Amino acid sequence: MIRRIAVLLGCVLVLSGLSGCGGDAHTFGVKAVAAGVPSLAPFFDEKQGLGQDAEVRSMPVQGSLQQGDTPGLYGGTKKPTICDVAKLRRFLTDPANHQKAVAWSGVLGINTVQIPGYLDRLTPVLLRHDTLVQNHDYKKGKATPYNSLLQSGIAILVDEQGEPAAKCSCGNPLRPFKGAASRISVKFADGNKKWNGYHASSVVAVRPAPRRMEGLALVDVEDPDTGITRPVGTTGKHDTTFDARKQHAVPDLAGATFGDARRQLVSSGLAVGYGGGALPSDDARVTATDPPAGTELRFGEYVLLSVAGGTSGGATSTPPGPTSSSPTTSSPTTSGPTLAPPTSTAPPSTSAPTPPPSSPPSEPPPSSSSPTTGSPAVATHSPPSSAPVISSAPVTSAPVTAGASVPTGTPAATTVTATTTET
C-alpha cells in the first residue's frame, strides 16, 4: 500500500510539464502574459514607450495551429504607434547595449551586424487570438527562454512568413511554441491575472507561411468592417484599407491536396479550419468542405476541410533575407495586394545572410517590387520550386468571423461539422 501511494504521488509531481505516468500524458507549463502588464525582466525598458498594446477580444479558432498568412489572423489600427521599430533599432545598435544585442540576435538566429536589416523586414501587428510563443526574458546577461501565452491585443512584430519575432512593449524576442496547444497548463501570476474571455480551446500557435509575403491582410480592431493591407516591413504609414464586409464563394476543393486547397482559400481571403491537434500534411486529399463549395463567406471566415491520407511535412521557416538597413519604400496600393501569388517565374535575388541554425533552407529572399493591386489578402512571392501557383480571381471581403473550436485528435480521415458565427 505504501508503494502504491508513493507511485501516485510521483504522478502528481510531474504535472508541471514532465511526462505523466500514463506514458501519453504531457502537460506544457505556460506563463500568462496579459496585455499592458510589464515584463519582470525585459530586454528594453517598457517605460520608454517602445510599444503599445490594445484591448482586443480574443477570437475563437478552428485549428490550434494557424499559418502566418491566414487572412485576418492579426489585427491592426489606423494609429501607427503600436510599435516604434526605429527606437528598438537605435537601442540594439547602441554600443552600450552590445551584450543585450548579442543575446537578442542569437535567439533569432542572426548576428548583431544583421539586426538593422532584420528589423526593417518586420511588421507590427496586434494579436487577435491568445497566442502561444516561446518568449525570452533577459537575465544575467543572457536570453532566458520560457513558454508563454500572449493575450490578444498585445502588439508584436512578425517576420515575412507571419511568425512572431518580438514583443513590442519590451523588445523580448519570440520564437515558435514547440509544445501541443491542446495540452497546456497556464500559470496566471506576477500581475498577469486571468483575463476575461480566456478559453483554452481558443488558444492558437502560429506556424510560418509556406512562402514569404509582400503584405499582410489585417482586421482593424477598432472597426472590424474595415480591413487593412500593410506591406511587409512597414509600420502603418503605407497602409491601405479595404471593405471587409463583402462576400465571396467557397471554391470547389474536393480532390485537391490540402496544400493546394489552403492556397486557394488564402488567395480568396478565407481562413483554413481543420479537425485534430495538428495541421494535415500538404499532400493529404480534401474529401469535403464545410460549408460546401459556392457558399458565400466573409473575409477571414473559416472553411473546415475534411481530409484523408497524406505523408509530407508542413511549412518551415525561411531564413532571414538581405541585411540592407534601408526601410521598405514600396508605394502603397489602392485596394490591397493581390490574393494570388505572382505568376512570374523569374527567381528573386539569391543574396541572403547566413540562415539561423534552427531554420532549414528555403527560397531566396524576395525582390523589392511593390505589391500589386487586387483583392484584400496576403500577397506572396512565387513558390521556391515547382509548387503550383494558384491564381484566383480578385475578391473583396467582409468582417472576420470564426466558428466554434474543434475537437482534438488526428484521425486518418477527418470529418468536421461546425457552423460559423459572425463577430
Q: What is the rounded average pLDDT for all residues in the chain?
A: 77
pLDDT digits (tens, 9 = 90+) for 270-304: 999 998 778 899 999 999 999 999 999 999 999 99
pLDDT digits (tens, 9 = 90+) for 63-89: 999 999 999 999 998 876 789 999 999
pLDDT digits (tens, 9 = 90+) for 21-54: 334 458 899 999 999 999 999 999 888 888 999 9
Count, residues in the chain: 423
- More confident site: 95 or 415: 95
pLDDT of 344 over the 70 cut: no
Provide the pLDDT for residue 80. 64
pLDDT digits (tens, 9 = 90+) for 194-239: 999 899 888 999 999 999 999 999 999 999 999 999 999 999 989 9
